Amino acid sequence: MRFTFLLPSDDISGGTRVVAIYAQQLQARGHEVLVVNCAPERLSPRQKVRAILQRDWSKLLADGVPHPGHIALSGVPQKVLDRPRAITAADVPDADFIVGTWWETVVQMHRLPASKGRKVHLIQGYEVWVTPQATAQVNAALRLPNLKIAISSDLKQTIEEKLGPLDMSVVPNAVDLTQFNAPPRSKQGSPTVGFVYAVAPIKGADICARACELARLQVPELRVVAFGADPADAQVPLPRDTAFFCRPAQDKLKEIYASCDAWLFGSRLDSFGLPILEAMACRTPVIAVPIGAATDLLGDGVGVLVAKESPEEMAAAIVAMCRQSAADWQTCSERAHRKAHVYSWDDAANLLLASLEQA
């Protein structure tokens, strides 16, 4: 069969990683796959003036110049539009299925003729957080007639609580078990925690950072590790002496996860939370808020769930982890590893294809 995926951009976000992996999985099964993504957004005149006044030369130099994203790094066939604009029929080939992965690409997809493929909405988030004005547009995109597949039961529930039943199926994300894995290890002498750093408030990096600072009041030797696509910014300060990796190479990520005794997930809004699974696959227990897939993944003693937006409760969980016996930590580490490795992207691709074939 022939598949076309539509993406707003090629970046190193979790959503783009999911599309890249599905494209690879389908291609490995003998299907024809193409990923079409929009050109990088350019700075507005106001944004350029602000960057000049702030002497943010890196932002000006990077204007419109894409960093290699997960699609480019995956090696799957890719087409990047020549300039920022909507995707049209001339940009995509005829296919059996065409998959929109963001509300705007879903709207654009529905303007295309039937020859471009059966329309599928791979729902990776309830994207009303973009701007207050986007809510009506996002809801309208979700109501368009197509085959809808959500990446977590939590996301399906969140959307259908607002919009009512949408005949939405669920195909959970998995983790790349060839990329994310680690041999058994012991609890470290110097306790270490890590988290994904991002400036956007919805990612909750400030909550994780504050939790680390509070935990250090009782565990002064606590080490902190972080990585992210955003450079460290004073608006969201990192804890003192954090080992921070900005845009690390993809093969470096498993080392970062495996260097920690616990991984923190404090997102205010997330449809899944791939770092939870990635850390678990590297034998690192996770302390998380009940957002995205965290509730499904961390039950039965696999990890620790803490209250939303409570750095105090997260800090208490960090301190408890630091005071765990080596044997108890080892048990938690093995449980996390088993949970992450029981379901693969191969399984997810099989479920995706089954949903499409049933349609």
Average pLDDT in the 5-19 region? 91
Encode pLDDT of 170-201 as tens digits: 999 999 888 999 999 999 989 999 999 999 89
**pLDDT confidence of residue 269:** 85
**pLDDT confidence of residue 357:** 86
Encode pLDDT of 212-249 as tens digits: 999 999 999 999 999 998 899 998 999 999 999 999 99
Average pLDDT in the 280-291 region? 96
Q: Which CATH superfamily is domain 2-174+344-358 in?
A: Glycogen Phosphorylase B; (3.40.50.2000)
Token pair 């894409």 is found at 66
Number of C-beta neighbours around residue 161 at 10 A? 9
Encode pLDDT of 292-326 as tens digits: 889 889 977 789 999 999 999 999 999 999 999 99
Total length of the chain: 359
Q: Percentage of the chain surpassing pLDDT 70?
A: 92
- Count Cβ neighbours within 10 Å for each residue of 137-157 and write b for 16 or more, e otherwise: bbbebbeeebbbbbbbebbbe
Decide if domain 192-341 falls under CATH 3.40.50.2000.
yes
- The helix/strand/coil state of 119 is strand
Using CA atoms, how far residue 6 sits from 14, 32, 124, 176, in Å, is 15, 15, 13, 22
Helices (H), 231-283: 253-258, 274-281
The interaxial angle of helices 274-281 and 14-28, nearest 10 deg, is: 70
Spatial distance between the Cα atoms of 50 and 53, rounded to a whole number of angstroms? 5
Number of C-beta neighbours around residue 181 at 10 A? 17
Q: Which of 264, 261, 259 is nearest to 214 (CA)?
A: 264
**pLDDT confidence of residue 54:** 59
Spatial distance between the Cα atoms of 183 and 13, rounded to a whole number of angstroms? 26
- 77, pLDDT greater than 80: yes
**pLDDT confidence of residue 50:** 64
Annotated domain spans of the chain = 2-174+344-358, 192-341
* pTM > 0.85: yes or no: no
| Long-range CB pairs of 152-161, under 8 A, 24+ apart, other chains included | 152/271, 152/272, 152/292, 152/293, 152/296, 153/296, 154/271, 154/291, 154/292, 154/293, 154/295, 154/296, 155/123, 155/124, 155/125, 155/126, 155/271, 155/272, 155/292, 156/123, 158/126, 159/123, 159/126
- 48, pLDDT greater than 80: no
**Confidence class for position 46, pLDDT limits 50, 70, 90:** low
Please determine whether the domains at 2-174+344-358 and 192-341 fall in the same fold group of CATH: yes
Average pLDDT in the 82-102 region? 94
Average pLDDT in the 338-358 region? 93
**Confidence class for position 121, pLDDT limits 50, 70, 90:** very high
